Amino acid sequence: MEIDDLIGPASILPGLKSRSKRQVLQDLSAHAAELIGMPERTLFDILTERERLGTTGVGQGVAIPHGKVPSLDKVFGLFARTNEPIDFESMDDRPVDLYFLLLAPEGAGADHLKALARVSRLFRDKALCEKLRGAEGGDALHALLLRKAAAA
């Protein structure tokens, strides 16, 4: 599973104005709902239910909210960056400003895990995270994600 299979230019949100974890999940749900044609509330409920199991804030200012969605036909990704880092109850207690939303079909066990592992490996690269924080605009963010993923 490659990053370019998960995101396109419309799946990049370079300047979320969210100020709380709940608001980030709402904003991500709203944008994803537009792109995949699903109800925003359904996506939000799936993401918040997953967060109740444990934070998806993986550390280094990165979170990977994810969940399985009934009637979704393929794994979907969305990258977002908040203007200011926010408390996401991360494993390392650092605030988060980089988010990669991952949604998978309900029966996509292996594909979901492969995509999650791929995104997780990508965001372990501290240099990439710093470039993503400094990039201007969605096109630059998209290019950085694809370039790094292709090199990995």
Sign of CA dihedral 99, 88, 28, 72: positive
Mean pLDDT of all residues in 140-147: 91
Compute, in degrees rounded to 10, the torsion defined by CA atoms 144, 111, 37, 119: -20
Residue 66 among the catalytic residues: yes
- 54: domain range? 3-151
The first and second tokens of residue 31, run together, are: 């944008």
Each residue's pLDDT tens digit, 70-112? 889 999 999 999 999 999 999 999 999 999 999 999 887 788 8
Separation of alpha carbons 59 and 83, rounded Å: 18
Pick the catalytic residue from 31, 66, 112, 142: 66
Burial 18-42 (b: 16+ CB within 10 A, else e): beebeebbbbbbebbbeebebebee
Report the domain count for the chain.
Answer: 1
Instruction: Identify the CATH number of the domain in which residue 66 sits.
Output: 3.40.930.10
Cα dist. 115→87, 89, 145 in Å?
A: 25, 23, 14
The 8-class DSSP code of residue 9 comes to G
pLDDT in tens, 129-138: 999 999 999 9
- The pTM score is 0.94
